[in-house]
Amino acid sequence: MMRGPTMLALARQTVHHSWRGYLGAFVALLFGVVLISVTVTLIGSIDATDGRPGTSADERAQLDGLAAMFAMMSTISAFMALFVVGSTFGFVVAGRRRELGLLRLVGATPRQVRRLLLGESVVVAAAATTVGCLLGTVSAPAVLRLVRAVGITTLDLQAPSPWIAWVVAAPTGAVVALLGAWQSSRRAARITPVAALREAAVQRTRPSVVQFVVATLCFGGLVATVVAAADQPPLLSMLASILLPEVVVIGLMCIGPAVIPRLAALLARPFVGWDVTARMARDEVRAAARTTAAVAAPVLAISAIAGSLLLTLSLSVDWATAQNRARLHAPLVVEVGSPAAAASVAADRTVATADVRRLAMLAHDDDGGPGEPDRVEVVDLATASVARGLAAMRGTLDDFHGRAVAVTATWVTDGGVGLGGTLPVWIDGERIPLRVVAVLPDAPGLYVELVVPAELIPPDSIRITGTVFVVPRGDAAATRESLRRTLAGTGSRIVDSGDWVDAIAARTRESNNVGLIILLGPAGLYAAIAMVNATLIGASQRRRQRDLIQLIGASPDQVRRAAIWQAALVCGTGLLLGGGTMALMGWLVRRATMADLAGIAAPITIPWLPLLGIGVTCLLLAAAAATAGIRTRKPPHLADDPA
């Protein structure tokens, strides 16, 4: 029996002579490691920048926002990288079963086959992780500059030590690659030579016991979330809609060989009657079940994750806009240019109530000392209740004085301190416990999550934001005209409250679009590479079938069209499943937000353009890769086998 060093040497030789078979796996792991490395660099840059001397409170607040954004990006990027790398390595190993069957035929034992495959995967993983870490290190400064260039931050982020990315990215990528190869190597080692030769024509679709259990757990969790959707706070539903797509994708791919080829065949049904190449493509996707599922994997993953995130963010803005519109009672909003202008608004004789919006920073208690500062809304209850509809949904605002705080429903879900609880903060070097006296309905455009009475905060710590909510004494038009004369030359702006709410929503959507560049940009780019890579791998593994089809009379044009049909069917199936996942996540969010709005009308804004852009881009990439993977030449003899 061959020992470990001998098998590793043999693995190096087989990779050297059959490098084309592992090229796709090398590319997938290479860019996966780059993606993980860049993600780790971005997260590490937060600590490196925060550790510089002289960092201000505003800069730390901006770094906290970036940390949350990078953490979400790391979740999406890591999932895409690990999912695609594991799937691709398993895909590549499974595609060599005919060759492995021949090895079994000449006397190789199942253990030797398994060790050979793992040895080959070690060789490829070592090369890919090394090159990937080098590329990630080289590209790190450019990525940090890009984050600032696109407007995500105004800070000059400092790069952390490159060894941090190496320590995380290299072992993570290598382990996932070996896990993907290990699963396929076990399956390949169990089959007989004759079964291996048969399986080269028609691949099994039945999931293993482990895959079935994992799929059951994934879909069981999904069903439980759907059942509880109406009782969940909007914040939890939004978080679920961002994290659940990954669970759904894992569950679908566990049963992918049984589901995806059949669904692709259904998509082909309207076309097989009038185009023979569509029939050829349908038969191929059904026969090569595992190949079909593996090629569809990156399309399914990015369409489900990106689509769900796009739709969730859009629906969250709809929810916030409806809350703002329902709570805002003031018909006019003035954006003043100075505190003196705000005082002029309050002094105008046509104004009944002028509610000036004010903010302050309070440090939370952190183990007996001042912690991270947080924004709080400083309100005059008399004016805020009239102009902004400030009212308690639980508790009472009668106790809103002294050492008291009112919190929003979302903050209760996120912060974990509810009605009657105590929130210790630090004010002027003194630790002060604030009692939660009321829970407020969410209205993100009107007040932040923590609201305190004006007498609690020292006047010199209060900052006027420049927004004044105005309730006229009589006709709103007369008040507008009077304020226009009063504020002439101050740079102030007077708008209707409805237009002001719409402007808040537009700015939020614009900010979300910038954030999506970070959240989905790296993962989307990697998904595009993975789509092309998987399609090319599938095309190379089907070369023998194409040669056979040409040998029995198919023209080069028919072979090319069949390949494009096949890519379109597989990509369309991935988009269909991803779109279904997105629709389900959107329904979860919509159901929770409508239950929270309790009768308040809210529009539905679906981001059709970016969603269609995802679908069209995936289809174009798949078609282009399929066309590039076709090499229509004179077919070889049947004895010729690319394996």
User: DSSP string of 309-372?
Assistant: HHHHHHHHHHHHHHHHHHH---SEEEE-SSHHHHHHHHH-TTEEEEEEEEEEEEEEEETTEEEE
277 and 189, same structural domain? no
Domain extent at residue 445 = 337-491
What is this structure's pTM? 0.82
d(C-alpha 329, C-alpha 314), whole Å:
25
Q: Exposed, middle or buried: residue 620 (CB in 10 Å: 0-12, 13-18, 19+)?
A: exposed
For the cut 70, the answer to whether the pLDDT of residue 5 exceeds it is no
188 and 64, same structural domain? yes
pLDDT at 291: 80
388 and 522, same structural domain? no
Neighbours of 227 (CB within 10 A): 9
Q: What is the pLDDT of residues 503-548, one digit of tens each?
A: 999 999 988 888 888 788 888 888 888 888 888 877 777 777 777 7
355 and 302, same structural domain? no
Report the domain count for the chain.
3
Top-confidence range, 89-103, 266-280, 362-376, 553-567: 266-280
pLDDT at 179: 77
218 and 285, same structural domain? yes
Q: What is the pLDDT of residues 290-310, one digit of tens each?
A: 888 888 989 999 999 999 999
Q: What is the pLDDT of residues 21-68, one digit of tens each?
A: 677 778 888 888 888 888 888 888 888 887 777 666 667 777 777 787
Is residue 140 very low, low, confident or very high in pLDDT (cuts 50, 70, 90)? confident
Higher pLDDT: 180 or 3? It is: 180
Neighbours of 286 (CB within 10 A): 17
Query: Of 149, 174, 200, which marks where a domain is finished?
Result: 200
480 and 347, same structural domain? yes
d(C-alpha 405, C-alpha 438), whole Å:
7
Is the Cβ–Cβ distance between 159 and 47 less than 8 Å?
A: no
For the cut 90, the answer to whether the pLDDT of residue 385 exceeds it is yes
pLDDT at 261: 92
Query: Of 168, 200, 232, which marks where a domain is finished?
Result: 200
- C-alpha closest to that of 414 among 385, 374, 381, 452: 374
pLDDT at 503: 94
Q: What is the pLDDT of residues 421-460, one digit of tens each?
A: 999 998 888 899 999 999 999 999 999 999 999 999 988 8
For the cut 70, the answer to whether the pLDDT of residue 94 exceeds it is no
Within-domain flag for 12: yes
Within-domain flag for 76: yes
pLDDT at 67: 80
Within-domain flag for 643: no
Among 35-44, 473-482, 552-561, 563-572, the range scoring the smallest mean pLDDT is 552-561
Within-domain flag for 304: yes
Among 99-108, 554-563, 583-592, the range scoring the smallest mean pLDDT is 99-108
Within-domain flag for 228: yes
307 and 385, same structural domain? no
Higher pLDDT: 628 or 405? It is: 405
Average pLDDT over residues 156-172: 86
Is residue 8 very low, low, confident or very high in pLDDT (cuts 50, 70, 90)? low
pLDDT at 10: 65
Cα distances from 533 to residues 202, 303, 336, 528, 529, in angstroms, run: 23, 17, 55, 8, 6
d(C-alpha 325, C-alpha 389), whole Å:
10
pLDDT at 200: 46
52 and 163, same structural domain? yes
For the cut 70, the answer to whether the pLDDT of residue 165 exceeds it is yes
d(C-alpha 444, C-alpha 370), whole Å:
26
Give the three-state DSSP class for 152.
Answer: coil
Cα distances from 97 to residues 163, 189, 217, 496, 590, in angstroms, run: 38, 9, 30, 70, 47
pLDDT at 21: 62
pLDDT at 392: 92
Work out the mean pLDDT of the chain and round it to a whole number. 84
Query: Of 446, 470, 491, which marks where a domain is finished?
Result: 491
Cα distances from 317 to residues 108, 375, 508, in angstroms, run: 61, 21, 7
Strands 450-453 and 404-408: antiparallel
Is the Cβ–Cβ distance between 278 and 268 less than 8 Å?
A: yes
Dihedral, CA of residue 444, residue 446, residue 451 and residue 456, to nearest 10: 150
- To 10 degrees, what angle do helices 497-541 and 19-50 make? 150
Q: What is the pLDDT of residues 389-401, one digit of tens each?
A: 999 999 999 999 8
Which amino acid, residue 477?
Answer: A
Give the three-state DSSP class for 448.
Answer: coil
Is the Cβ–Cβ distance between 538 and 228 less than 8 Å?
A: no
237 and 161, same structural domain? no
For the cut 70, the answer to whether the pLDDT of residue 372 exceeds it is yes
Give the three-state DSSP class for 192.
Answer: coil
370 and 297, same structural domain? no
Which amino acid, residue 82?
Answer: L
